[in-house]
């Protein structure tokens, strides 16, 4: 049997995905039940997420609780912060040290955790033994120190951190309208933030940079809240706007509103938390798509299609090795997981010849997969199309249209009853913009055959 999946062009620029909740009950706060099952715990305006892919750990900047949390195998614990805002504890255990409104987290390949301790005007790090220290910032807001040790330089309300595969740390120094970096020897310098976008002197003019990410080639991506755009700083220093105000797009200028978190995958696609629009965007080859959110704030929609699930002021975004995205859905006090559908395949149902008006011996079966495996509970719409003569119907519903959700194997199946009259029956199985087609040829009252294409 052979089959294929086609994708229908979306009129609204959407990419199909499913969303689930991995942490947060949806009620803001921090209670006695905090360190337990992640989906039952309370978070308070989480703003940042990162994935330690080697160790399968999710870190959360639980900003309103003045803590950094860790989710491992579905359980949540506190990594840093006591819940009381302030600064202390350097050189000691991170969970006994105070942090103030942490907004972003990043992790390197050694498992070292970096925290944008925004309210303390510092970047902190937590070593694998749990010890916390200051990497950058003195605690006094301002700008100085380029070319010297980062922990003696001033930063102002830093709101995002990222680390590349060499261990270089990038900082969105929001209050100073700069992107800065800390090399592995501890020296801090300014990457961009003094001239105009498009300038090739290695410095672009930024307005409230609040999100930063870096790809494997060394390009840096910056979300600017003040300018409502996302830019790329190339390895030569050239600054190019890729989304929002001033961006060139095949679909025209896509407006962003207070974009915050930004992430980039191994294929070069860029993901944006479009906070003010309550959506998650994907930028591929200059085309901006919406992959999650309805555009209106909301806290419902636990599970289901991402484009039909309301988000509420999403901030941080992060990707795992499978291409799944984790979103700090700040206003709903949750961390969401977005999984992009990979394939919709017809795997059974062809070559049958039932008796006239009889149920086909084998059901029509499709399978939905992601990069990491099958998808549970994806709604598949089966519809008989273009048949006006045979009278074929889906057996259970006795109709020409039915919706079936996938099982643990990612499969959805329907039984088809052929009509008594000759004719061609075409069945489309659809999931969002993906569709696969079965065809049944009822040529005589005595034989029926089916094939998938």
pLDDT score at 168: 98
pLDDT score at 261: 97
- Degrees (nearest 5) of the Cα angle 246, 250, 253? 30
Strand partners, 229: 224, 244
Q: Quote the tokens at residue 348.
A: 């059974």
pLDDT score at 425: 82
Give the E-state strand segments of 6-157 in sequence order.
Answer: 6-7, 17-23, 48-52, 57-62, 67-72, 75-80, 102-107, 113-117, 122-126, 132-136
- Give 17's pLDDT tier (boundaries 50, 70, 90): confident
- Give 45's pLDDT tier (boundaries 50, 70, 90): very high
Contact status, residue 75 vs residue 366, Cβ threshold 8 Å: no
Sign, CA torsion 174/57/88/82: positive
Give me the percent of the chain exceeding a pLDDT of 90: 64
Query: Does residue 293 carry a pLDDT above 70?
Result: yes
Instruction: Name all domains of the chain by residue range, CATH numbers in brackets.
Output: 17-340 (2.120.10.30), 343-452 (2.60.40.10)
Contact status, residue 192 vs residue 206, Cβ threshold 8 Å: yes
Residue pointed to by tokens 């790809």: 215
pTM: 0.80
- Give 310's pLDDT tier (boundaries 50, 70, 90): very high
- Give 303's pLDDT tier (boundaries 50, 70, 90): low
Of residues 250 and 391, the one with the higher pLDDT is 391
pLDDT score at 296: 93
d(CA 148, CA 253): 41
pLDDT tens by residue, 420-437: 777 778 899 988 767 888
pLDDT tens by residue, 124-173: 999 999 999 999 999 999 999 999 999 999 999 999 999 999 999 999 99
pLDDT score at 285: 86
CB count in 10 Å sphere of residue 269: 17
Range with the lowest mean pLDDT among 29-38, 145-154, 271-280? 29-38
Sign, CA torsion 371/372/374/376: negative
Strands 364-370 and 343-348: antiparallel
Element (H, E) at 394: strand 393-394
Closest CA to 380 of 398, 352, 407, 360: 407
The stretch 164-183 carries a mean pLDDT of: 97
Of residues 237 and 2, the one with the higher pLDDT is 237
d(CA 25, CA 407): 25
Range with the lowest mean pLDDT among 50-54, 250-254, 366-370, 439-443? 250-254
C-alpha to C-alpha distances, 364 to 62, 127, 212, 398, 411, nearest whole angstrom = 46, 54, 47, 15, 10
Query: Does residue 290 carry a pLDDT above 50?
Result: yes
Strand partners, 283: 270, 288
**How many helical (H) and strand (E) elements, i.e. helices and strands, does the chain have?**
0, 36
The stretch 79-107 carries a mean pLDDT of: 98
Range with the largest mean pLDDT of 23-32, 302-311, 330-339, 444-453:
330-339
Q: What are phi and psi of 40, to 5 degrees?
A: -100, -10
Of residues 233 and 375, the one with the higher pLDDT is 233
Of residues 153 and 386, the one with the higher pLDDT is 153
Residue pointed to by tokens 């290695």: 202
Contact status, residue 166 vs residue 184, Cβ threshold 8 Å: yes
Contact status, residue 158 vs residue 211, Cβ threshold 8 Å: no
pLDDT score at 443: 61
Of residues 99 and 204, the one with the higher pLDDT is 99
Query: Does residue 180 carry a pLDDT above 90?
Result: yes
d(CA 312, CA 27): 13
Q: Quote the tokens at residue 106.
A: 């990043």
Element (H, E) at 453: none
CB count in 10 Å sphere of residue 363: 18
d(CA 24, CA 44): 9
d(CA 159, CA 155): 10
d(CA 42, CA 60): 12
């Amino acid at each position: 049997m052979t089959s294929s999946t086609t994708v229908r062009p979306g009129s609204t620029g959407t990419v199909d995905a499913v969303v689930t909740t991995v942490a947060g009950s949806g009620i803001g706060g921090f209670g006695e039940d905090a360190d337990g099952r992640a989906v039952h715990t309370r978070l308070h305006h989480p703003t940042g997420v990162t994935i330690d892919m080697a160790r399968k750990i999710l870190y959360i900047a639980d900003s309103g609780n003045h803590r950094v949390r860790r989710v491992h195998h579905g359980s949540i614990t506190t990594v840093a912060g006591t819940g009381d805002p302030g600064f202390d504890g350097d050189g000691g255990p991170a969970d006994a040290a105070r942090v103030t409104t942490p907004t972003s987290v990043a992790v390197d390949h050694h498992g070292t955790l970096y925290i944008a301790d925004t309210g303390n005007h510092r970047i902190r790090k937590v070593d694998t033994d749990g010890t916390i220290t200051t990497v950058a910032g003195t605690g006094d807001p301002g700008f100085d120190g380029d070319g010297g040790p980062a922990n003696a330089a001033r930063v102002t309300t830093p709101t995002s951190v990222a680390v590349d595969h060499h261990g270089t740390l990038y900082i969105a120094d929001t209050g100073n309208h700069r992107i800065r970096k800390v090399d592995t020897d501890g020296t801090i310098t300014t990457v961009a933030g003094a001239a105009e976008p498009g300038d090739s002197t290695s410095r672009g003019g930024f307005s409230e940079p609040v999100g930063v990410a870096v790809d494997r080639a060394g390009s840096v991506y910056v979300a600017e809240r003040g300018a409502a755009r996302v830019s790329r700083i190339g390895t030569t220093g050239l600054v190019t706007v890729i989304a929002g105000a001033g961006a060139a797009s095949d679909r025209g200028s896509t407006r962003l509103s207070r974009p915050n978190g930004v992430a980039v995958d191994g294929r070069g696609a860029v993901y944006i938390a479009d906070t003010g629009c309550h959506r998650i965007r994907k930028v591929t080859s200059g085309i901006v798509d919406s992959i999650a959110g309805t555009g209106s704030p909301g806290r419902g929609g636990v599970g289901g299609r991402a484009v039909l699930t309301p988000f509420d002021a999403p901030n941080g975004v992060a990707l795992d090795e499978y291409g799944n995205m984790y979103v700090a859905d700040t206003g709903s006090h949750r961390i969401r997981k977005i999984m992009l559908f990979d394939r919709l395949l017809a795997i059974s149902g062809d070559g049958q010849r039932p008796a006239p008006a009889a149920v086909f011996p084998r059901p029509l079966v499709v399978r939905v997969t992601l990069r990491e495996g099958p998808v549970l509970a994806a709604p598949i719409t089966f519809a008989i199309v273009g048949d006006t003569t045979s009278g074929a119907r889906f057996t259970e519903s006795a109709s020409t249209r039915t919706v079936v959700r996938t099982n643990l194997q990612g499969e959805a199946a329907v039984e088809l009853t052929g009509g008594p009259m000759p004719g061609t029956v075409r069945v489309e199985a659809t999931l969002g913009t993906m569709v696969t087609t079965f065809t049944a040829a009822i040529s005589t009252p005595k034989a029926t055959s089916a094939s998938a294409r």
